[in-house]
Structure 1
Amino acid sequence: MTTTPVALCGLGQMGLPVAGRLGAAHQVLAYDISAERRAMGGERPGVRTTEELDELAGCDTLVLSLPNPAVSRSVLRELAPRLSPGTVVVETSTVLPSDVREWARILEPVGARVVDAAILSGVGQMETGRATLLVGGDQADIEASTDVLDALGGAGWSRFGELGAGMAAKVVNNGVAHAVMVVLVEAFAMSRAQGLDLADIAAMLERPDGGLIRPLTHRVMERVANGDFDGGMPLEAARKDSTLALAMAQLSGTPLFATQAAQSVYDLALAAGHGREDYAAVARLWEEWGGQPLTFEMDET
């Protein structure tokens, strides 16, 4: 237990377990606009609550766990004139990278700093100390907030780059998760329409060579990473299989949205001359559109 006070603004669904993790390692001063949430936060060991937002300005570290960027912006604009030079704000709320960089501009005149520490995990994982953090910011600022990051990131935390990088990674992760959710529901609806056992479909998809995992582990992490599209399953064959999925769904009256949109990408890639390349070559479209390569090196460790 350290004696360094840590301020926490926000005792919502994620804020309460954040308070609990911080309270296990620090003395915590917490604020929430709701008296009910303050009462709940005050029940956590190591946590004292306040009715006055301004009281948080007396702490060296301020953790934000708020519902949206507008609330974080409002809180920082109110507290900034009262913060001491060297104060580190740790933003755990899910906001845009541009928002975090705006927070830095708000804090710069008073010499305060900001680190983005996006929470990859859910409420249950934070509660039990198994959360993962995606961190962005200046290395010195991150080092100054290591004790807080260690307390919150029980499963570990990683620096993804400069300020905003942690939030960018979180937004990418959520975008994938939410898009995949739609694709999975479509897949299970197609399966049900064909009389398949949904447990069998789930087991198939979670296999290392299944349709959910292998596109990442092989096609992205090996082929796209190395720009290697020779051999493999031809894009034109993948397009044919995608067409079969659409046809089967149409015959059973199963609406498809995400799968239909994905088919358009294969149409474009085929028209661009990538039909005989491995179907991971759809990445070439985004390389052309964005003007940047999508190759990368995997960390062998």
Structure 2
Amino acid sequence: MSTEASTSKRVVAVVGLGGMGGGVAHRLVAAGHDVVVFNRTKEKAAPLVEAGARLADSAADAAAEADVAVVSLSDEEAVEKVVFGEMATRLRPGTTLIEMSTLSPSYTVEAARRLAELGVRRVEACLIGNPQMAKSGDLRVFAAGVEEDVDGVRDLLGALGRQGMLYLGDTGRASALKLSFNLLLGVMTAGLGEAVTLAEQAGIPREMFLTAVQKSGWRSPVLNFRAEFMRTRTYRPAGFRTQLMAKDMRLAAEEARRGGGSLPLTEEAARRFAAVVAGDGGDKDAAVIVELRETAEVRP
């Protein structure tokens, strides 16, 4: 039996069907894999079941079926609850867990150690792109962990990316790369918001300013995407929730300090996003930072 044939018969569990998790699950179903899914809000699983996935009753049940488990959760607290509180003891020794959640590199190294004690392989994946790109297989995909373990799921991760999968090396590097990308996104979004504020204070309409940006050398796919939220002043449904942006900026700043470095721009942007969250803007797109006028001391 060929390697391709044997790997296609593996059961792949996808736990966490938010934007990226749902897109990844759709792509794996379309690629012909046997996919079982679970999400706390079961309604999010309905389109996947229609597409051919099977629905598990719990994260633990999904783990019990899995040869490979893909996890895409919001933060480290959720990983503790779902992976270590529900899934870990149901994952069979030899199973590979692919972690797609955005976590700190320090936590990632410790999580890999804890799973290894249970005989579970852990691969961390950094996905660059958006949910639609995940669904169509147009992401940039980077992975880290034990090279043999990464090679064992190369076909799955390669199906998500237009250039296959790139190996980064040791555990923690994929998490560091993802935080570095999200750091840049957060600083750029906060900067665009402040540019809009200055232009509006001078009497320049928001629409005119954002159109000028999008038709100039300052344009970029990232800024254009955030600019549309700012232009319409409609921040739901979010492309990247402010709560997650604040979390990622905080993690990046903490990780830099842990290594003896400093990220002053990131720390200030983290404070600003945290202020939006404190004002009940956590579920809105991070572009809503343009509406933040108060500069109260809300620390990340």
Q: State the TM-score, normalizing by the size of structure 2.
A: 0.63
Greater CA radius of gyration, 1 or 2?
A: 1
Map Cα deviations across residues 127-156 of structure 1 (whole Å, 9 max, x no partner).
222112232212111101111111222454
> What letter matches 1:147 in structure 2?
D
> What letter matches 2:34 in structure 1?
Q
Map Cα deviations across residues 270-291 of structure 1 (whole Å, 9 max, x no partner).
xxxxxxxxxxxxxxxx9xx749
Match of 1:24 in 2: 30
Match of 1:106 in 2: 114
> What letter matches 2:134 in structure 1?
M
1:179 aligned to 181, 187, 204, which one? 187
Q: State the TM-score, normalizing by the size of structure 1.
A: 0.63
Q: Quick one: higher RCO (CA 8 Å, sep 6+), 1 or 2? A: 2
Contact 1:62 1:88 in 2 (8 A): yes
CA distance 1:201–1:20, shift in 2 (3 Å): closer
2:147 aligned to 139, 148, 151, which one? 139
Query: What is the CA–CA distance in structure 2 between the aligned matches of 1:194 and 1:203, rounded to whole Å?
Result: 20
Match of 1:76 in 2: 83
C-alpha deviation, 1:108, in angstroms:
1.5
Match of 1:121 in 2: 129
> What letter matches 2:14 in structure 1?
L
Matches within 5 A, 1:277-288: none
Contact 1:90 1:116 in 2 (8 A): yes
2:10 aligned to 4, 26, 30, which one? 4
Specify the SS of the correspondent of 1:132. Answer: strand
C-alpha deviation, 1:36, in angstroms:
1.8
Contact 1:76 1:106 in 2 (8 A): no
Q: How many residues align?
A: 212
Match of 1:243 in 2: none
1:33 aligned to 40, 43, 47, which one? 40
Query: What is the CA–CA distance in structure 1 between the aligned matches of 2:160 and 2:197, rounded to whole Å?
Result: 38
CA distance 1:119–1:106, shift in 2 (3 Å): same
Contact 2:72 2:99 in 1 (8 A): yes
Map Cα deviations across residues 233-279 of structure 1 (whole Å, 9 max, x no partner).
xxxxxxxxxxxxxxxxxxxxxxxxxxxxxxxxxxxxxxxxxxxxxxx
2:218 aligned to 206, 211, 214, which one? 206
Query: What is the CA–CA distance in structure 1 between the aligned matches of 2:97 and 2:125, rounded to whole Å?
Result: 10
C-alpha deviation, 1:201, in angstroms:
4.0
